[in-house]
Amino acid sequence: KGCKLVGCGSAVPTLQISNVELSKIVETSDEWISTRTGIRNRRVLSGKESLNDLAVEAARKALQMAEVEPDDVDLILMCTSTPEDLFGGAPQGQASDSSFALVLIQKALGCKNNPLSYDITAACSGFLLGLVSAGSHIRGTGFRNVLVIGADALSRFVDWTDRGSCILFGDAAGAVLLQACDSEEDGLFSFDVHSDGEGGRHLKAGIRSNETEDVLGSNGSVLFPPQRSSYSCIHMNGKEVFRFAVRVVPQSIESAMVKAGLTMSSIDWLLLHQANQRIIDAVATRLDIPSERVISNLANYGNTSAASIPLALDEAVRSGKVKSGDTIAAAGFGAGLTWGSAILRW
Ligand code: ACO
């Protein structure tokens, strides 16, 4: 049994923040940011729209492109490390009426048949791992239509006084629809996925305990000190993450290509997680892929974590760059540390 990509969509917040604007809040410059990262602008959620709104818009566009009705979706995978509700997926201030993750997205899309849906939390590798999971569900469980959404709002966890990290991130959502097909039409040729907990310390947004009052028993004695907590801001060792990405991503793509039985020359497009243009360029150079065959849109959006691959894919498809039948080598990498690649046909 095969599976193929039949639709994509994306959505970004309306508020755009340029490098020049960032240079008014931290000591930096447009020149420093653009030469070190390739980023010029990023979009940031400002309260006008929620992350779920973006996710729903991206998913709706993917369904429209695929000409698939919401009722025909069997599974929704929401790849995010910044859900708006740890239980219900509800935007801030709105009550969720169910404890199922993603119920609001299902509802907003109008999926009346209660498709299975769950979150995948793997930061910048989230979408890639979601795609691999979707393929396994289709091949293993008989699901026909699987919606994979990558959506993140890392701006909510950025330390806006840390110039080493706040310049990098933006918010967005992207989605693809993966559909069951006959094996000769198969469009997910192979994948290669890994993690290394040892390196996890280089990229963290850990839990921290907040001061709270002790819980008292009926006689007034201390029963226990409750562990109220919240997440701290992103802590990143940029140099280590850079080195890690440039080392593992080419190896992973090469390994996925071998599994697919394809040679490097059959790659039409290199589509990496959009973290830093220098990472993208270094990987392309190692794989000997010319820049005309590299997809990059991080100048406009920065690093949008789990959204970056489907956002860049959607723009490349809608602009006519990526055409039906093209072979794409996609790779994600990030916190965990996690990384992986997939060889796809659009
Ligand atoms: N503006 C001006 N100067 C800066 C800035 C800034 N925004 N940030 C750092 N600097 C300074 C530093 O203080 C340092 O100054 P010093 O030499 O006086 O000490 C100097 O610039 C060099 O700093 P480095 O951190 O060594 O700069 P580097 O060239 O490594 O670039 C960067 C930093 C852009 C973060 C780079 O390491 C990078 O992109 N790493 C990958 C990060 C990444 O991709 N993270 C996310 C991936 S995973 C995920 O997506 C969740």
Short-list 346, 307, 332, 317, CA closest to 11: 307
In a domain, 150, yes or no: yes
Question: What pLDDT score was predicted for residue 88?
Answer: 58
Q: From ligand 1's centre to the CA of 308, what distance in Å?
A: 20
Whether residue 205 contacts residue 235, with contact meaning beta carbons closer than 8 Å, is answered with: yes
User: Does residue 158 have its Cβ closer than 6 Å to ligand 1?
Assistant: no
Active site residue 303: yes
Q: How many domains does the chain have?
A: 1
In a domain, 310, yes or no: yes
Mean pLDDT of 297-303: 97
Residue having the nearest C-alpha atom to atom 14 of ligand 1: 164
Active site residue 237: no
Token pair for 249: 């991503």
In a domain, 218, yes or no: no
Question: What pLDDT score was predicted for residue 209?
Answer: 80
Q: From ligand 1's centre to the CA of 161, what distance in Å?
A: 14
Whether residue 192 contacts residue 62, with contact meaning beta carbons closer than 8 Å, is answered with: no
User: Does residue 239 have its Cβ closer than 6 Å to ligand 1?
Assistant: yes
Q: Could you give the count of Cα atoms lying within 13 Å of 334 in the half-sphere of its Cβ?
A: 30
Active site residue 3: no
Question: What pLDDT score was predicted for residue 275?
Answer: 96
Whether residue 119 contacts residue 102, with contact meaning beta carbons closer than 8 Å, is answered with: yes
Question: What pLDDT score was predicted for residue 102?
Answer: 61
User: Does residue 81 have its Cβ closer than 6 Å to ligand 1?
Assistant: no
Instruction: Answer whether residue 224 shows pLDDT above 90.
Output: no
User: Does residue 28 have its Cβ closer than 6 Å to ligand 1?
Assistant: yes
**% the chain with pLDDT above 90:** 75
Model confidence pLDDT, tens digit, residues 100-151: 446 667 777 888 777 888 899 999 999 999 999 999 999 998 899 999 999 9
CATH of residue 140's domain is: 3.40.47.10
Three-state SS annotation for the chain: CEEEEEEEEEECCCCEEEHHHHCCCCCCCHHHHHHHHCCCEEECCCCCCCHHHHHHHHHHHHHHHHCCCHHHCCEEEEECCCCCCCCCCCCCCCCCCCCCCCHHHHHHHCCCCCCEEEEECCHHHHHHHHHHHHHHHHHHHCCCEEEEEEEEEHHHHCCCCCCCCCCCECEEEEEEEEEEECHHHCCEEEEEEEECHHHHHHEECCEEECCCCCEECCCCCEEECCCCEEECCCEECHHHHHHHHHHHHHHHHHHHHHHHCCCHHHCCEEEECCCCHHHHHHHHHHHCCCHHHECCCHHHHCECHHHHHHHHHHHHHHCCCCCCCCEEEEEEEECCCEEEEEEEEC
Token pair for 226: 């409750």
Rounded-to-integer distance, Cα 217 and Cα 209, Å: 22
**Is the alpha carbon torsion for 41, 320, 269, 341 positive or negative?**
positive
Average pLDDT, the chain: 91
Q: From ligand 1's centre to the CA of 262, what distance in Å?
A: 36
- Label residue 75 exposed, middle or buried (CB < 10 Å: 0-12, 13-18, 19+): buried
Q: Report residue 229's pLDDT band, with 50, 70 and 90 as the boundaries.
A: confident
* Angle at which helices 30-37 and 277-287 cross, to 10°: 20
In a domain, 255, yes or no: yes
Residue having the nearest C-alpha atom to atom 47 of ligand 1: 334
Q: What are phi and psi of 276, to 5 degrees?
A: -160, 130
Mean pLDDT of 309-331: 97
Residue having the nearest C-alpha atom to atom 23 of ligand 1: 164
Q: Is the peptide bond before 337 cis (omega within 30 degrees of 0)?
A: yes
Q: Report residue 230's pLDDT band, with 50, 70 and 90 as the boundaries.
A: confident
Model confidence pLDDT, tens digit, residues 91-108: 444 444 443 446 667 777
Rounded-to-integer distance, Cα 101 and Cα 172, Å: 19
Q: From ligand 1's centre to the CA of 164, what distance in Å?
A: 5
Rounded-to-integer distance, Cα 254 and Cα 221, Å: 62
Domain of residue 243: give its range.
Answer: 2-199+235-345
Question: What pLDDT score was predicted for residue 26?
Answer: 95
Whether residue 333 contacts residue 195, with contact meaning beta carbons closer than 8 Å, is answered with: no
Rounded-to-integer distance, Cα 181 and Cα 189, Å: 13
Mean pLDDT of 285-302: 97
In a domain, 222, yes or no: no
Question: What pLDDT score was predicted for residue 104?
Answer: 62
In a domain, 212, yes or no: no
In a domain, 226, yes or no: no
In a domain, 213, yes or no: no
Length of the chain: 346
Rounded-to-integer distance, Cα 178 and Cα 62, Å: 10
Question: What pLDDT score was predicted for residue 218?
Answer: 87
Question: What pLDDT score was predicted for residue 90?
Answer: 45
Instruction: Answer whether residue 184 shows pLDDT above 70.
Output: yes
Model confidence pLDDT, tens digit, residues 236-273: 898 999 999 999 999 999 999 999 999 999 999 999 99
Short-list 146, 127, 126, CA closest to 136: 146
